[in-house]
Amino acid sequence: MKARLRRVGLPYLLLLPALALELLIHLVPMLVGIAMSFKQLTQFFIRNWSGAPWAGLGNYRTAVDFHAAVGQALLNSFLVTCSFTLLVVGLSWLLGTAAAILMQDAFRGRGVLRTLFLVPYALPVYAAVITWSFMFQHDTGLVNHMLHDQLHLTSGKPFWLIGGNSFYALVTVAVWRSWPFAFLCLTAGLQNIPRDLYEAAALDGAGVWQQIRRITLPSLRPVNQVLVLVLFLWTFNDFNTPYVLFGRSAPEAADLISIHIYQASFVTWNFGSGSAMSVLLLLFLLVVTAAYLFVTSRRRGAHA
Amino acid sequence: MPKIPTWFRVTRWIVLSLLMVFTLTPVLVMLSSSLKPLQDVQGQWRWIPSGFTLRPYLDIWHTVPLARYFLNSLIVATSATVCSVVIAIFAAYAVSRYRFRGRRLFTVTVLSTQMFPGILFLLPLFLIFVNIGNATGIALYGSRAGLIITYLTFSLPFSIWMLVGYFDGIPRDLDEAALVDGCGPLRTLLRIVVPVAIPGIVAVGVYAFMTAWGEVLFASVMTNDDTRTLAVGLQSYASQNDVYWNQVMAASLVVSVPVVAGFLLLQRYLVAGLTAGAVK
């Protein structure tokens, strides 16, 4: 009896530390966060947050009241994040796919090149992004020196880290950081395509372009399904890149949602409204993820 | 092998060259600027430095307390890595070798925590840590311990996932033979399975270390002057009145070396593990 109990209980015992920690750091705070979003949790209640008065849906109403300042700023940040995500995921996927397909056949130096392409992924984000912020400096940066002094493309030296251009600076850095991951996943995906498929297609007279369209891209569909979702979630939630690039106050044109909530919470110390915004963000991500999985799985089923 | 047409070779050469320039420019900027004298980084950008100097590498330690940040990062990342790897080994062994109720629920729950936006549980976790401190006197907010437990849960889901894949690849005959010989399940895990899985475990360790070494969001909120890690500390160069960019670049390079070296050395294992899920 005792032996049987031990046998049944053992896997749970092995899982216990992992489960306990995930609950403590992720799930409990998430539930607390949802509770907080219904409270009037201002700086006076930080040390005694259960004493804060209930706010009902008040925090949510403020967040989505797009005629008032708070709601308008949130809406602006949401729209900026959407276009940022669309651009970064699209470009990262494109670069990753192009590089993976071009490097499918062996050539001299392929191994070294592969390793070099992974460097942005390996560098700590703050070290890499701080280097970009040096490159984007107005007077001392490499970018302005090249664009203005050497190529004469711009009439004056533009500002990259404040104002409207900051959006493009942010997109550039984010693509630089995330395309190697796409490249990595797609390279692995390509290795599963049998070589004789290409040989048979070549015998039938299919050109390179046709081989890519008819064999490579369809075979990559399962990898793409996961890859695009992962890239979407990472990019939409990106905090590190704008935080290191711009410091605590991101310019309006590059005010990503994570930075926005962070500032709204820690500048005003109004954790209730910050939590309400976070919950709205989570709901949005859940809906998009569910819809995405529903659509892509159905399409996959239809093709199979 | 089908013949590769010339236009494809030419396109390949052009596209890959452009990508290489895009990828490596920041790395070269970091390296070359870190060796430049101060006047070179205070005026217009120079491709060719007016001279080489190692001064920035000596000065970085005095301008800001870089050594302390470095030590904090080292302590936090190493502890988080060791704990995360040990916990992941046990969990992955359970998932790989036992069929039990809730097995699927466990994997799905743990993996789905990966998609939550960090900002969602940053605020509550901050409050929970502050309140635990007030109630029990255990200082989690502002301490390295709080950061260590937070970081280890970040790498845990992926580590478990990678190790399950690795353990699944180890033939069960090995553990069954050990069990028949009278080894208990734990001894079997430690004596038989773990030694065979060392490459996978090392890869998971590097991944966990990279995660903890590079995290910014929680480090910016959960640390104070004494426990500040590199992720936040490196930015204090930029808040000086005069930004000594050659020093910033030297410091960036110094803090990158441990993780980039580890990543490149173990690239093969890491890549296999990281992509296993996406390909399956």
CATH of the domain at A128: 1.10.3720.10
User: Per residue in A70-95, pLDDT tens?
Assistant: 889 999 999 999 999 999 999 999 99
What's the pLDDT score for residue B280?
41
Q: Which of A105, A117, A274 sits opposite B23 (nearest CB)?
A: A117
Listing DSSP states for A62-74 in one string gives HHH-TTSHHHHHH
Residue B190 forms part of a structural domain: yes
The verdict on B37 touching A (C-beta cutoff 8 Å) is no
Which CATH number characterizes residue B133's domain? 1.10.3720.10
Residues 179-218 of B with CB under 8 A from A: 185, 210, 213-214, 216-217
What's the pLDDT score for residue B99?
86
Burial class (CB in 10 A: 0-12, 13-18, 19+), B164: buried
Which segment, B44-53, B87-96, B138-147, B177-186, is predicted with the most confidence on average?
B87-96
Domain range holding B93? Answer: 65-237
The CA distance from A161 to A144, in Å, is 12
Domain range holding A268? Answer: 77-103+119-304
Residue B69 forms part of a structural domain: yes
State how far the alpha carbon of B253 is from the alpha carbons of A123, A181, A194, B59, B240, in Å. Answer: 9, 22, 41, 14, 19
What's the pLDDT score for residue A120?
93
Residue B262 forms part of a structural domain: no
Q: Among A127-136, A236-245, B84-93, B134-143, whose mean pLDDT is lowest?
A: B134-143
If you average pLDDT over every residue of chain B, what do you get?
Answer: 86
CB contact under 8 A, A21 and B153: yes
What is the number of H-type helices and E-type strands within chain B? 15, 0
Q: Which of A130, A189, A236 sits opposite B234 (nearest CB)?
A: A130
Residues 231-260 of B with CB under 8 A from A: 231, 234-235, 238, 245, 248-249, 252-253, 255-256, 259-260
pLDDT surpassing 90 at residue B71: yes
pLDDT surpassing 90 at residue A242: yes
pLDDT surpassing 80 at residue B269: no
Average pLDDT of the residues in B183-207 = 86
Tally of domains within chain A: 1
Q: Which of B70, B123, B264 to mutate to test the interface with A (most CBs of A within 10 A)?
A: B123
The verdict on B164 touching A (C-beta cutoff 8 Å) is no
Residue A250 forms part of a structural domain: yes
The CA distance from A154 to A175, in Å, is 23
Residue B229 forms part of a structural domain: yes
CB contact under 8 A, B117 and A274: no
A164 vs chain B: nearest CA distance in angstroms?
Answer: 22
Tally of domains within chain B: 1
Residue A223 forms part of a structural domain: yes
Residue B161 forms part of a structural domain: yes
Q: Which of B118, B235, B278 sits opposite A227 (nearest CB)?
A: B278
Residue B137 forms part of a structural domain: yes
Average pLDDT of the residues in A113-128 = 92
The three state secondary structure string of A114-180 is HHHHCHHHHCCHHHHHHHHHHHCCCCCCHHHHHHHHHCCCCCCCCCCCCCCCHHHHHHHHHHHHHHH
